[in-house]
Amino acid sequence: MTGLQGWATATAGPGAGARRLGLTSSSSSCPPRPPSGPPPTGIPSSSSSSSSSSCSCSCSCSGRRQPEVAKAPGPAGPSLGPPRAEASGDSGQGRPSWAPRAGSRLSPPRARGSAAAPKRSRMYTLLSGLYKYMFRRDEYCILILGLDNAGKTTFLEQTKTRFNKNYKGMSLSKITTTVGLNIGTIDVGKARLMFWDLGGQEELQSLWDKYYAESHGVIYVIDSTDEERLSESKRAFEKMITSETLEGVPILVLANKQDVETCLSIPDIKTAFSDCINKIGKRDCLTQACSALTGKGVNEGIEWMVKCVMRNIHRPPRQKDIT
Ligand SMILES: Nc1nc2c(ncn2[C@@H]2O[C@H](COP(=O)(O)OP(=O)(O)O)[C@@H](O)[C@H]2O)c(=O)[nH]1
Ligand SMILES: [Mg+2]
């Protein structure tokens, strides 16, 4: 009944929109009147002919008055439609021919149109949310640290070659010492990893902590063939993991150059770094055998890192739309 009421008043001039939305009471200066055109969709064809009588009021109802019977309270509403007994008659005797049967679910076209607007806007919000979800990447910054000559830049080049389909990197054997910083990006599923390969020389190590606050993960590269510098590497590692700015950040330790026969094994390296174990704290940490040159262990290391940064709720990613 409310729908009909709204429809009837919707044609009655200024303020009709508000009334359609149910913002006004049903009492109008002029009684509701039937539509002059064809019936709204859903109205039985028998009710399409108008049977209005004349109205003498000065409102915008065009001088047509709704028959008295339409105002008689019916069982389902206070002001519209005839009593049920009359309304249920097949021929529509006793009720205005334009009035719908009591209990029918009629919704006037205008009222429907106004309901469709918020529906469309909800649909737009849903679709744009879905689009953003599908075409959005979570960006993580990964530091590649370790002493100079450990194989950091070689590892970065190998990673880019493996994870970027069309990437044509430089020949790995031609990589020379990094003076400043190398950067690289790969996409793994919905994650985008941005690598910062920092110089490992002693004077450059003091710059590492400038990047800690922004990083989501650290890959620490050890030269497994350089036993002499292992303790130096351990000191740099220890300093790094005890930095408060890096708290909770996952660390992947790469025992690199495992392709060299005489290299130290993983247990050897773990023993050399055993002092650091209780300083690692609450974070994900993995020691992975690797050869940046041949690619052994590279995929495993990266996939582990992706998993860890994604589940680390303390360092949420930066979200970027794919362009
Ligand atoms: N045999 C072997 N050599 C490697 C490996 N990774 C790097 N290298 C070599 O180690 C040297 C230093 O590598 P680089 O990537 O420049 O080290 P960075 O200073 O840590 O960036 C280069 O001569 C590389 O070819 C590896 O997995 N196996
Ligand atoms: Mg380098």
The 10s digit of each residue's pLDDT in 229-251 is: 999 999 999 999 999 999 999 99
Closest Cα to atom 25 of ligand 1: 173
Identify the band that residue 291 occupies on the pLDDT scale cut at 50, 70 and 90.
very high
Q: What is the DSSP string of 148-179?
A: TTSSHHHHHHHHHHHHSTT-----GGG----S
In the chain, pLDDT over 70 holds for what percent of residues?
A: 64
Give the architecture (CATH level 2) of 129-311: 3-Layer(aba) Sandwich (3.40)
User: Which among 149, 196, 219, 260 is the best mutation to test ligand 1's pocket, defined by most ligand atoms within 8 Å of the CB?
Assistant: 149
Tell me what pLDDT residue 104 has: 52
| Matching residue, tokens 């065009």 | 62
Q: Which atom from ligand 1 is nearest to the alpha carbon of 260? A: 1
List of residues 6+ apart from 114 with CB closer than 8 A: 17, 20, 21
> How crowded is residue 147: how many other Cβ atoms within 10 Å of its Cβ?
23
List CB-based neighbours of ion ligand 2 within 5 Å.
152-153, 178
List, for residues 101-153, the tens digit of each pLDDT value: 555 555 555 555 567 888 888 888 888 888 777 777 899 999 999 999 999 99
Residue numbers in the known binding site for Mg(2+) are 153, 178
| Paired tokens of 74 | 């019916």
φ and ψ at residue 169, rounded to 5 degrees: -80, 175
| Paired tokens of 314 | 């303390």
From 5, 66, 93, 201, active-site residue: 201
Amino acid of residue 16: A
Tell me what pLDDT residue 69 has: 39
CB 15, CB 24: distance < 8 Å = yes
Compute the average pLDDT of residues 82-105. 46
CA gap 237, 200 in Å, rounded: 11
Tell me what pLDDT residue 322 has: 62
CA gap 302, 184 in Å, rounded: 13
CA gap 277, 96 in Å, rounded: 89
Tell me what pLDDT residue 78 has: 39
Compute the average pLDDT of residues 78-97. 42
Report CA(295)–ligand 1 centroid distance (Å): 12
> Is 5 considered catalytic here?
no
Mean pLDDT of the chain: 74
